[in-house]
């Protein structure tokens, strides 16, 4: 929370909950513009950060979305809440795959057998 508050102050963000946390920079003068980042820009930032960190796999804008689903499920959150907050349809097959990854050890058929 301290880091978020420090960022809001440094970036001059409004206290409105719907205002963008990260705003665009003017291409020529690099001044902060009013609008938030485009979806493609967020993905580009994530990809470049992974490359700079020397990570061999290519992170994309989808990486944090998928991470939201699997990490939330591991912490015990229910599917319908994860779907709503992550923008998936309630019965999404893709989301079901993420849930399967997160649940594979909790709901293992071998639990208690070995």
Q: How many CA atoms lie within 13 A of 53 on its CB side?
A: 11
Distance CA 46, CA 78 (A): 27
Whole-prediction pTM: 0.58
Non-local (6+) Cβ contacts of 78 within 8 A are none
Please write the tens of the pLDDT for every residue from 38-92. 878 888 988 999 999 999 999 888 888 888 899 999 898 999 999 998 889 999 9
Domain range annotation of the chain: 9-60, 61-106
Nearest-angstrom CA–CA distance, 40 and 42 = 5
Q: CB of 59 within 8 A of CB of 49?
A: yes
């Amino acid at each position: 929370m301290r880091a978020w508050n420090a960022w809001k102050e440094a970036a001059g963000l409004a206290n409105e909950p719907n205002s963008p946390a990260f705003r665009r920079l003017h291409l020529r003068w690099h001044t902060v513009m009013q609008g938030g980042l485009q979806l493609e820009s967020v993905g580009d930032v994530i990809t470049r950060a992974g490359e700079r960190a020397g990570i061999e796999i290519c992170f994309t804008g989808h990486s944090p979305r998928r991470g939201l689903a699997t990490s939330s499920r591991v912490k015990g959150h229910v599917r319908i809440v994860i779907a709503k907050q992550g923008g998936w349809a309630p019965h999404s097959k893709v989301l079901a795959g993420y849930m399967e990854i997160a649940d594979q050890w909790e709901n293992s058929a071998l639990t208690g057998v070995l």
